[in-house]
């Protein structure tokens, strides 16, 4: 998972991580080095910490390698 403080788009290629996924959304995402990936959907990823705390990434993009 590509994850960082201050990024404008959270994304992963792990489809199984999504609790909700809208595959009708297709967008091109450009990185700071001008490389581009194509998003194959957008949805919600639920992260559960080791203490049981939950965090939801509501607008996480899925991309294919």
For residue 4, tell me if it sits in a domain: no
Per-residue model confidence (pLDDT) at position 6: 57
DSSP one-letter code for 32: T
For residue 26, tell me if it sits in a domain: yes
- Per-residue pLDDT tens digits for 13-65: 899 999 999 999 988 888 888 888 899 999 999 888 888 898 888 889 998 87
Better pLDDT: 3 or 8: 8
> Whole-structure pTM over 0.75, yes or no?
no
For residue 1, tell me if it sits in a domain: no
For residue 51, tell me if it sits in a domain: yes
For residue 35, tell me if it sits in a domain: yes
Number of structural domains the chain divides into: 1
Domain span including residue 32: 10-63
Per-residue model confidence (pLDDT) at position 45: 92
Q: SS3 of 15, please?
A: helix
């Amino acid at each position: 998972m590509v994850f960082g403080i201050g990024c404008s788009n959270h994304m992963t290629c792990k489809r199984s991580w999504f609790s909700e996924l809208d595959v009708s959304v297709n967008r091109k995402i450009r990185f700071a080095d001008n490389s581009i990936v194509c998003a194959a959907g957008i949805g919600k990823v639920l992260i559960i910490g080791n203490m049981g705390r939950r965090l939801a990434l509501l607008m996480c993009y899925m991309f294919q390698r």
